[in-house]
Amino acid sequence: MYDSKDSHVLTSINSSDEKTVVLTFDDGPGKVLPQILDILKEEEVPAMFFWQTRLLYQERPWARLVEEGHKIGTHTINHPDLSTLDFNKQYKQLAESVKKIEGITGQKVTYFRPPFGQYNADTIKAANQLGLTSVMWRIAGIDWELKGNSEQIISNVTENLEDGAIILLHELKQTVEALPEMIRIIKEKGYQFTIL
């Protein structure tokens, strides 16, 4: 479980009458994106994707993602630890990545996730100047460390569920393997899925 004392950063959402969670995927668009989209479509689950724009090509299935009701945010150009960069370099990482996503998809980008979850006052200042809401997470699947261990990814998420939680996942093979069962358990526990 993660929480931020920073009022400029979202880790959860204010829920409605129903228990809700937000699924998010970092570090795409990658090779397993079509499989993730297939699962989300089958389960009728919306999600948010935070993309590195160095990986965003016209051929990636971004149009399908948008058509199926998901949302794209920026995860910078090439995933640096922003807290080690000066303001101008941080601003460039955000501004140029937003411009590329908007240029390819035609969709306005309003959300941003700092790589490695690392940020400082300059990061928030740059995000605010660009009209971006900074999004962290409340629950992490730790999927990047659990290759071949989809059961642990599932339990990391489903044993820590709480209303309004933003869930951190990645576009990885092991996450694809974990996703159907994870969604099934989340639904069984009475949660709805939403996006920001």
The domain in which residue 175 lies consists of 9-193
Residue 5 binned pLDDT confidence (cut-offs 50, 70, 90): low
Does a structural domain hold residue 131? yes
DSSP the chain: ------TTEESB----SS-EEEEEEEEES-TTHHHHHHHHHHHT---EEEE-GGG--TTSTHHHHHHTT-EEEE--SS---GGGS-HHHHHHHHHHHHHHHHHHH-PPP-EE--GGG---HHHHHHHHHTTPEEE--SEE--GGG-TT-HHHHHHHHHTT--TTBEEEEES-HHHHHHHHHHHHHHHHTT-EE---
Each residue's pLDDT tens digit, 19-33 = 999 999 999 999 999
pLDDT exceeds cutoff 90 at 84: yes
User: Could you tell me if residue 16 is inside a domain?
Assistant: yes
Q: pLDDT of 147-158, one tens digit each?
A: 989 999 999 999
Q: Is the pTM of the predicted complex or chain greater than 0.75?
A: yes
Residue 2 lies in a domain: no
In a domain, 126, yes or no: yes
Give 106: exposed, middle or buried? Use CB within 10 Å, 0-12, 13-18, 19+.
exposed
Residue 125: which CATH number?
3.20.20.370
- Domain membership of residue 43 (yes or no) is yes
The count of domains in the chain is 1
Task: Establish if 149 belongs to a structural domain.
Answer: yes
Q: Please indicate, yes or no, if residue 3 is contained in any of the structural domains.
A: no
Which pLDDT band holds residue 9 (cuts at 50, 70, 90)?
Answer: confident
Closest CA to 134 of 143, 142, 144, 125: 125
Q: State residue 59's pLDDT score.
A: 78
